[in-house]
Structure 1
Amino acid sequence: MLVIAHDRETLIAAVLGARALELPLQVFGGLTNCLICDSGLPGVAVLNQVRGYRFEADYRLHAESGAIIAPIARVAVQRGLGGLTWAVGLPGTVGGMVVNNAGAFGGETSSNLVSAEVLSPEGLVVEVEPSWFEFEYRRTRLKSSVEGWVLLTAVFQLRPTELAHLQAKADEYTARRQRTQPPGRTLGSTFKNPPGDYAGRLIEAAGLKGRRIGGVVISNQHANFFVNEGYGTAADYQALICLAQSEVASQFGVRLEPEIEFFGMECTCGG
């Protein structure tokens, strides 16, 4: 069953209803880094489209977890507020950004988050501090968590910054994304960067640019982006992930860890 939640009350009710019926539950935001099994998912899938946000006089941003981050980051730039400029052009929602501790161009979600509201496994709305998330590189306690917490809102501390500087940075980051990241159907960065190196460099050095399985191909523009050409399946994507992991491990002794999340399937590759 798919539930599309446009407001906080519906989101909470859907989560609590699924739990009361003891049904499997997944809550999704922008689905920008989610690989879902070709046969679908059991139970209840909730699509979080709770989009509200507001800027406060103390330079804080309050955002619902289903809000799309890229336009919010652009509005912050236009208001002369720094802290999320790196997220201009970032796909996905505020919830996904927080859950994955997303970052780019030297910026990271954990640097500006000051508080959040989460729905507990018992159905209580709880306000938490940043330390609660146990932030790591591209990971928090909520990512692939079996605890049952659901992010509802997030609050970010921004800072007044010269408008011309922010606009120049936003334009620079947008141009870099367009220059280095392929258009089309991708799940964003497929793998996390290993310490001291880059996943894309390793995949390219392994000779895998342009390698294809079914309808999914490793981009010739950036090897850490896998492009679905319109007829690819989740199984194709998984097989290509396994190939990249195996080749990089064999040639360089490095185990690439997926940055994308798997639903209804597992990354069971060797290497």
Structure 2
Amino acid sequence: MTTRRIDFSRFSSIKIGPVVEVAVLQKGDLPPEGHFLIGHANNLLVGPHPPPLCMLGKDFDDCRIEGERLVIGAATPTGKILSFCKKHDIGGFEFVAKLPGTLGGMLAMNAGVKRYETYNDLLTVTTERGVFEVSRIPHGYRFAKLPGVAFEAAFRLRRGFDGALADALLKLRANQPKAPSAGSFFKNPPDDYAGRLIEAVGLKGHRLGNMAWSDMHANFLVNLGGGTFEEAMALAELAKKRVWEAFGIVLEPEVKIVQA
């Protein structure tokens, strides 16, 4: 096992975090105990003092067809998955267009757009503990409880890439801000939208230091340049407090907050 020195203020999508040594796993390595898996840090907010961290190396960046299954390594970027599916006329992954990150992150949170989700065609996930059928993995809306560190996953092979669907789903992202963020910060409550609730309590565009709730989409916490973990957490807590007071709804983070 090797290590990689990562500056999360440059590496993470929200551009916040310290410089730390991260363990890099290759084929045959076991995940070190007590380490948090970071993926490509697209859905993470890393604090100044995170727990020990690890990530998957290039050995886990792979797409291949095995009979009637599509097998994808957990370190495979979403852009590569989309390109592979286009090239081989495979349906089911049109929703990953412009979705940042890797398959591992998609599996960890059941990433998706509308009704198109990672677990829809999932068959098995391979971790350091073995191969698990999807029926054995608790999952739901933007949630999954993986039995260990995902190394790769197998999906039902569906022929027919739908370019029109990919374009339509891509347009749904047109209202997302371009400034650095970790994507949607809170999960949508049942039958409602976190962005609507945050806007309703007057926080759309609200700024604290160099962090703000985007004036383009209220559920995106954006870094305006030099934003800090403390500023981000203060804004998140303010949104939770105001939404609870106004609507009696508890907002749950979709972003993973990584702090010891």
Q: Same fold (TM over 0.5)?
A: yes
d(CA) in 1 for partners of 2:79, 2:188:
22
Alignment of 1:1-271 (within 5 A): 2-3=21-22, 5=24, 7-9=26-28, 12-13=29-30, 15=31, 18-19=32-33, 24-38=34-48, 40-42=49-51, 44-50=52-58, 51-56=60-65, 58-120=67-129, 126-142=130-146, 149-161=148-160, 163=161, 166-177=162-173, 179-264=174-259
- Shift in Å at residue 57 of structure 1? 5.5
Unaligned runs of 5+ in 2: 1-19
- Shift in Å at residue 202 of structure 1? 1.0
Listed one character per residue, the Cα deviations across residues 157-197 of structure 1 (whole Å, up to 9, x for unaligned) are: 13112x5xx112212222321x2111121001100000001
Paired AA for residue 206 in structure 1: V
What is residue 269 of structure 1 aligned with on the other side? none
Secondary structure class of the residue paired with 1:256: coil
Paired AA for residue 155 in structure 2: F
Paired AA for residue 252 in structure 2: E
The structure richer in strand per residue is 2
Paired AA for residue 168 in structure 2: E
- Shift in Å at residue 6 of structure 1? 6.5
Listed one character per residue, the Cα deviations across residues 183-225 of structure 1 (whole Å, up to 9, x for unaligned) are: 1210011000000011111111111111011211111111111
d(CA) in 2 for partners of 1:199, 1:175:
20
- Shift in Å at residue 136 of structure 1? 1.7
Runs of 4 or more off by more than 6 Å in structure 1? Answer: none
**How does the TM-score come out when normalised to structure 2?**
0.85
Secondary structure class of the residue paired with 1:231: coil
d(CA) in 2 for partners of 1:79, 1:236:
45
d(CA) in 1 for partners of 2:245, 2:109:
28
- Shift in Å at residue 95 of structure 1? 0.7
- Cα RMSD of the aligned pairs, angstroms, is 1.9
The structure richer in helix per residue is 1
Greater displacement, 60-69 / 94-103: 60-69
What is residue 268 of structure 1 aligned with on the other side? none
Secondary structure class of the residue paired with 1:116: strand
Unaligned runs of 5+ in 1: 121-125, 266-271
**What percentage of residue pairs aligned between the two structures are identical?**
34
